[in-house]
Amino acid sequence: MKNIFRKILFGDSVIREYSTVTISDGIREKVYLKTGELLIDISGNHWVLCLEPIVMGIWIEDKEQLSALDKKMSYTIYFTDSDSGGEKNIRRNAVAVLDLEFFDKIAESKGSLFLLKMRESRIFHLSFIQTFLIYFKYYKKPHLSFKKLKSFVSAYSYPRRVRVVSFKSDEYYNIFPMDLLGDISQCNRYVFGLRHTNIALSKIIETGRVVVSEISYEHKDIIYQLGKHHSSVPPSLDLLPFKVITSENFGFYIPDWVQSYKEIRIERTINLGSHMLLWGEVVNQKILKTNASHLYHIHFLLYLHQKKKGFSYQLV
């Protein structure tokens, strides 16, 4: 009966929480920040850094925008499925809307990272009835309320790139995937949102060093095996299903199939809730292979919305 219900409402799609995709022709979705009379396209300059509560990091460089944002107390983020153009169209075509409030700010000479905490969220990927039914049948859990589901759907209504993080201290090492992070190349900075349960977190903060690597979706299965290392002790190197190389300056272990890596010195931490923000400077970077298609996470409701409109990213 459950399979019949799924097929009637969602066709042949396999219900899941998040879809893993690769993107060959660029990201179609656009994201806009609205505060007062100001509307800013933040599509390439925003990141999810905490999940409970949802905290977004938004990089702003324009001096007028910085001044306007400093004076405002409420913010709205619109996630759209294409370049909507004009505020009315953005509101009309939004698949998700987040209402946020100021949480903190990291100021640099070239701009500032605004940290905004979610107050409310609204989602429009499917009809309300479809959304509620899929929640009730597939997502409802003791720790996942409908309100929390909406916040996760909103945050992942834009593709979040997966990267691999490496750390080493004496005999201890860890290699694990992340999508709560952002590359701010404009000011040679990197931002991470690490869950407090990650056993490497305290060691990273203590030493102030970490390496992050760009990867191809072709290594998806191995990447997700590494996900177990968030909260457990990694196996010895000779038990890993791949060979490793060492980063140039830090000597951290890196899978030999990564495309490139950046060595980062951590300069600041901020407790966001379920996650700790790490803010660091890129001190060295190395390109090892030619570019390939990356791995991204989107919420499954965004994938269903794309299919309904006749377009969807390639599932991997």
Task: Single out the residue of 128, 140, 137 nearest to residue 1, CA to CA.
Answer: 137
What's residue 25's pLDDT? 87
Contact between 21 and 315 under an 8 Å Cβ cutoff? The reply is yes
**103 & 209 share domain:** no
What's residue 217's pLDDT? 95
Which CATH number does the domain housing residue 284 bear? 2.30.110.10
**208 & 119 share domain:** no
Q: What is the mean pLDDT of the chain?
A: 91
In a domain, 174, yes or no: yes
pLDDT digits (tens, 9 = 90+) for 269-289: 999 999 999 999 999 999 998
Domain boundary among 99, 127, 159: 159
Lowest mean pLDDT among 65-79, 166-180, 228-242, 295-309: 228-242
Quick one: pLDDT band at residue 261, thresholds 50, 70, 90?
A: very high
What's residue 179's pLDDT? 97
Sign of CA dihedral 304, 181, 110, 54: positive
Quick one: pLDDT band at residue 248, thresholds 50, 70, 90?
A: very high
**101 & 168 share domain:** no
What's residue 257's pLDDT? 95
Task: Single out the residue of 144, 134, 140 nearest to residue 303, CA to CA.
Answer: 134
pLDDT for 3 beyond 70:
no
In a domain, 17, yes or no: no
In a domain, 2, yes or no: no
Domain boundary among 132, 159, 186: 159
Quick one: pLDDT band at residue 141, thresholds 50, 70, 90?
A: confident
In a domain, 257, yes or no: yes
In a domain, 11, yes or no: no
pLDDT for 142 beyond 60:
yes
**62 & 139 share domain:** yes
Q: Which domain holds residue 122?
A: 23-159
Please compute the mean of the pLDDT values over residues 84-104 and round it to a whole number.
Answer: 89
**212 & 285 share domain:** yes
H/E element holding 224?
Answer: helix 220-226
What's residue 17's pLDDT? 87
In a domain, 305, yes or no: no
**201 & 148 share domain:** no
Contact between 43 and 158 under an 8 Å Cβ cutoff? The reply is yes
Q: Which amino acid is at 58?
A: I
pLDDT digits (tens, 9 = 90+) for 195-225: 999 999 999 999 999 999 999 999 999 999 8
Domain boundary among 159, 184, 209: 159
**283 & 204 share domain:** yes
**Residue 86 DSSP symbol:** S
What's residue 214's pLDDT? 97
Please compute the mean of the pLDDT values over residues 289-314 and round it to a whole number.
Answer: 91
Please compute the mean of the pLDDT values over residues 157-186 and round it to a whole number.
Answer: 96
Nearest 5°: the CA angle 210, 214, 219 is: 115
Among all chains, which residue has been given the structure tokens 């495309």? 259
**93 & 195 share domain:** no
pLDDT digits (tens, 9 = 90+) for 16-43: 889 999 998 899 999 999 998 899 999 9
In a domain, 5, yes or no: no
Strands of the chain (E only): list them: 18-22, 30-35, 38-41, 46-51, 54-60, 74-80, 94-108, 111-123, 160-161, 163-169, 172-178, 181-184, 189-195, 209-214, 244-246, 253-255, 260-271, 275-287, 296-299, 314-315
Contact between 42 and 31 under an 8 Å Cβ cutoff? The reply is yes
181 or 89: which leads in pLDDT: 181
**60 & 28 share domain:** yes
How many domains does the chain fold into? 2
What's residue 37's pLDDT? 87
Task: Single out the residue of 297, 220, 223 nearest to residue 23, CA to CA.
Answer: 297
84 or 303: which leads in pLDDT: 303
**280 & 248 share domain:** yes
Q: Which amino acid is at 290?
A: T
Quick one: pLDDT band at residue 150, thresholds 50, 70, 90?
A: very high
Sheet holding 160-161, edge to edge: 160-161, 296-299, 18-22, 314-315
What's residue 126's pLDDT? 92
In a domain, 10, yes or no: no
Terminal alpha carbon distance of the chain:
28
pLDDT digits (tens, 9 = 90+) for 57-78: 999 999 999 988 877 778 999 9
Lowest mean pLDDT among 6-15, 97-106, 205-214, 221-230: 6-15
**62 & 150 share domain:** yes
pLDDT for 84 beyond 80:
no
Query: Which residues face 277 on adjacent strands?
Result: 193, 270
What's residue 75's pLDDT? 96
**27 & 76 share domain:** yes
pLDDT for 314 beyond 80:
yes
What's residue 231's pLDDT? 64
What's residue 11's pLDDT? 57
